[in-house]
């Protein structure tokens, strides 16, 4: 059986916010963390088509998260996380976004 592993690392002005926004959409085979100004996502699977589809979905979610978080300062992201409020991507989705 084939085993596929990959890592996507992206640079963001507000990596904590972006990683927090992405995490709820992760599949069991994915992990997303913030490290400084980078967001790191590891993905693995056994079916190439499934991994490709997961990466495609992830990249769309990443674009939405980046847009939503770009207007938030680090302080705002910390407040969202500490107060257990909805993250920016959830708010965009509730307003009719993806």
Domains of the chain in sequence order: 4-94 (3.30.310.50)
1 or 56: whose pLDDT is higher? Answer: 56
pTM over 0.95: no
The DSSP result for the chain, as a single string, is ---EEEEEEEE-TTHHHHHHHHGGG--TTEEEEEETTEEEEEEEES-HHHHHHHHHHHHHHHHHHHHHHTT--HHHHHHHHHTTPPPHHHHHHHTT--
Residue 8 confidence (pLDDT) above 70: yes
When pLDDT is averaged across residues 14-39 and rounded to a whole number, the result is: 94
């Amino acid at each position: 059986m084939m085993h596929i592993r990959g890592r996507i690392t992206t640079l963001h002005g507000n990596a904590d916010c972006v990683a927090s926004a992405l995490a709820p959409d992760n599949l069991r085979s994915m992990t997303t963390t913030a490290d400084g100004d980078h967001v790191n996502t590891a993905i693995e699977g056994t079916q190439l088509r499934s991994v490709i589809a997961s990466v495609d979905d992830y990249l769309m979610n990443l674009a939405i998260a980046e847009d939503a978080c770009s207007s938030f300062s680090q302080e705002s992201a910390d407040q969202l996380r500490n107060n257990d409020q909805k993250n920016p991507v959830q708010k965009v989705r509730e307003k009719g976004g993806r």
